[in-house]
Amino acid sequence: MMKMKQVRLSEKILPAFHDFWRANKKGDHLYYVLKGGRNSSKSTHVSIAMIYDLMRYPVNMLCIRKVGNTLQESVYEQLLWAIEHLGVSHLFETKRSPLRIRYIPRGNSIIFRGADKPEKIKSIKTSKYPIARLWIEELAEFKTEDEVSTIVNSVVRAELPQGLNYKIYYCYNPPKRKQSWVNKKFESHFLPTNVYVHHSTYRDNQHVSEAFVQEVQEVKKKNPLKYKWEYGGEPIGSGVVPFTNLVFRRISDDELSTFDNIHQGIDWGYGADPFSFTRWHYDKTRRRLFCLDEIYGVKLSNRNVAGEILKRGYQTTETIADSAEPKSIDELRIDYGIRIKGAKKGPGSVEYGEKWLDDLEEIVIDPQRTPFTAKEFEDIDYQTDRDGNIKNRLEDKANHSIDSCRYATESLWTESEVWTMERPW
């Protein structure tokens, strides 16, 4: 390994990023996700990590943005800043056509590509050193996760020599919409073990100008929601959080054995539209709802579903299913002996059922037992009209377990005096 010029990195890394730096040096993760508000120095610290590793390891690196002509004024200039900031300019050769940064003592490089021409990414090959670092800047510019996965798979495709590992850096400001794929993936309690996530704001950057801080304070006074999103890096969605009563925690087997007020629901699905069966316990005294189990998936036939319900011994507890599929209800009841009937539904029932759920003291979900239900409840947002005004109803997508829960608990909220007086049918 080439000997590096000694640099006091403790003076270069901001205190709020010490944890990121320790995680990066340890190298136990594949993905390092740096997200947050404007001017929080996310890209600054990724650029330092890239230059540091380029000097330490015999690897090449690839920097990506959605649009190629934005590379020079963003990640390229940021990396040049990092080289100068670390005091190692004499060790690097830089080119602008095509963009490239080369570490002179060893000859390994940083390459730059735009994702607007994905074939150029797929065809990248380097003979002497493997590409083992990938930095995707402004991750939220990509419309789908598949676009990003294609790039990642083009890089992480071969076993590296002993002592080397892959690292993938993502930087972005979270989109406003909670159901953006980026937010659903990383604004979550349920992250894979190979993912490290760091969140930062301008308050973590001691080098921001006084003028910038004054601007932020003005926005905070005039538009608190914009402040939370743009400067706090929070995906505010509609601006109102559904289900503030969610509790994600472990439900033990001992606790499970005490539950006896059981309710089950089904939201039908097939093909690309998921099927969802959920099983719940309702603690009426404390107004707490517990999610106990789920059957969730696409292309699940009625035979498959019935087999799972019978295998788990849930057939004797009545299940309330979406009444839109009476043939499926009849098949499960007549052919497989499962206690099941259709939901009453009716005008206003969706909104009232959602309101009843939101008004509970707690909705307790164990992500290990019911991961799909947990993710849907965590990600859901309210519908908005074209002007951004909030509607009194949840978004009608990625809500299959929520609908299943609403059907399961229909008898509980239709017993409500308010519902009895207000229902129009």
> Lowest-pLDDT range, 1-10, 103-112, 304-313?
1-10
Q: pLDDT class for 420, splitting at 50, 70, 90?
A: very low
Kindly tell me if the per-residue pLDDT of 335 is higher than 70: yes
For 281-312, how does the pLDDT look when each residue is reduced to its tens digit (9 = 90+)?
999 999 999 999 999 999 999 999 999 999 99
1: exposed, middle or buried (C-beta count within 10 Å: 0-12, 13-18, 19+)? exposed
Q: Which of 374, 410, 365 is nearest to 266 (CA)?
A: 410
CA-nearest of 112, 42, 53 to 86 is: 53
Report, as an integer, the average pLDDT of 404-411: 96
Backbone angles phi, psi at 104, to 5 degrees: -60, -50
Alpha helices in 298-399 (DSSP H): 302-311, 326-330, 349-359, 371-379
Give pLDDT tens digits for 199-235. 999 999 999 999 999 999 999 998 887 898 899 998 8
Domains assigned to the chain: 9-231 (3.40.50.300), 246-422 (3.30.420.280)
Between residues 269 and 9, the one the model is more confident about = 269
- Annotated active-site positions, please? 138
Query: How far is the C-alpha of 408 from the C-alpha of 320, rounded, in Å?
Result: 5
User: Percent of the chain at pLDDT above 70?
Assistant: 91
Alpha carbon distance, N-terminus to C-terminus of the chain: 77
pLDDT, tens digit, 9 for 90 and up, residues 48-85: 999 999 999 999 999 999 988 899 999 999 999 999 99
Residue-level pLDDT at 110: 97
Q: Which range (228-237, 267-276, 414-423) has the least confidence? A: 414-423
- Yes or no: say if 59 and 178 are a contact pair by the CB < 8 Å rule: no
